[in-house]
């Protein structure tokens, strides 16, 4: 597919819930670490924190935690998550690999734009052999404010040298879609982890996406 108006376009991929189904790994890591300090988290309540940073999640779920406890849980949970990914392995969600190849063949630049810590992004890229696939990998450490603020997507666009209006975000969470819109970008919502999303286009799976759908989204004003 040729680029229109000779303008370079970019795909900005969210990672958790978009490239991969990491929910079971994250939940198990939370449970493993919280069990150590005699705490628990309800899956339904935790699921509402999708797309948020640990620094926001922990005070929300456990407002009585001391700063030292928050720091410990934050670091221990992410370390446990990476251990599980390395031990068990993980796969790209259906249709993702094909679309990564299609976008690359069509000349679109691509980046990961995730609120996750850089170590998590690096682990996923290593396990899935994605190093070299993306021209940029932006993590939560690269910006001061996480989603729904637009900083992560704006940083990715800047790294790729692509104007925000020529970027298309692929997301699974409402906070990410809001961040994309606040960045002046179009967003495709994939219903991998949430039953309902408000995006420029909503699909059940990347397998359902077509070039015609993409062009319709990019033409929207």
Q: Which residue has the tokens 């906070």?
A: 175
Cβ atoms 176, 188 nearer than 8 A: no
User: Token pair of 168, please?
Assistant: 């298309």
Q: What is the mean pLDDT of residues 38-53?
A: 78
Residue 51 — pLDDT band, cuts 50, 70, 90? Answer: low
Cβ atoms 65, 33 nearer than 8 A: no
Going along the chain from its start, the domains and CATH numbers come out as 4-22+91-219 (3.40.50.1000), 23-88 (1.10.150)
pTM of the model: 0.88
Q: What is the mean pLDDT of residues 16-21?
A: 95
Choice among 2-16, 131-145, 147-161, 207-221 with the minimum mean pLDDT: 2-16
| pLDDT tens, residue by residue, 73-126 | 999 999 999 999 999 999 999 999 999 999 999 999 999 999 889 999 999 999
Cβ atoms 172, 147 nearer than 8 A: no
């Amino acid at each position: 597919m040729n680029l229109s108006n000779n303008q370079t376009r970019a795909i900005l991929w969210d990672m958790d819930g978009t490239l991969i189904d990491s929910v079971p790994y994250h939940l198990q890591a939370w449970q493993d670490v919280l069990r150590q300090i005699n705490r628990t988290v309800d899956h339904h309540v935790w699921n509402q924190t999708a797309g948020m940073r640990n620094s926001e999640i922990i005070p929300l779920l456990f407002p009585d935690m001391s700063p030292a406890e928050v720091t410990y849980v934050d670091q221990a949970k992410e370390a446990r998550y990476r251990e599980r990914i390395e031990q068990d392995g993980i796969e790209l969600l259906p249709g993702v690999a094909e679309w990564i190849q299609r976008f690359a063949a069509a000349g679109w630049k691509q980046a990961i734009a995730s609120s996750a810590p850089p170590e998590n992004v690096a682990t996923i890229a290593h396990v899935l052999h994605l190093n070299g696939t993306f021209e940029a990998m932006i993590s939560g450490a690269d910006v001061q404010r996480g989603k729904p603020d637009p900083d992560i997507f704006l940083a990715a666009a800047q790294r790729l040298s692509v104007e925000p209006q020529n970027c298309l975000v692929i997301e699974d969470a409402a906070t990410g879609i809001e961040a994309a819109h606040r960045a002046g970008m179009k967003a495709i919502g994939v219903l991998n982890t949430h039953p309902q999303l408000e995006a420029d286009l909503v699909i059940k799976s990347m397998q359902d996406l077509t070039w015609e759908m993409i062009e319709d989204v990019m033409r929207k004003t």
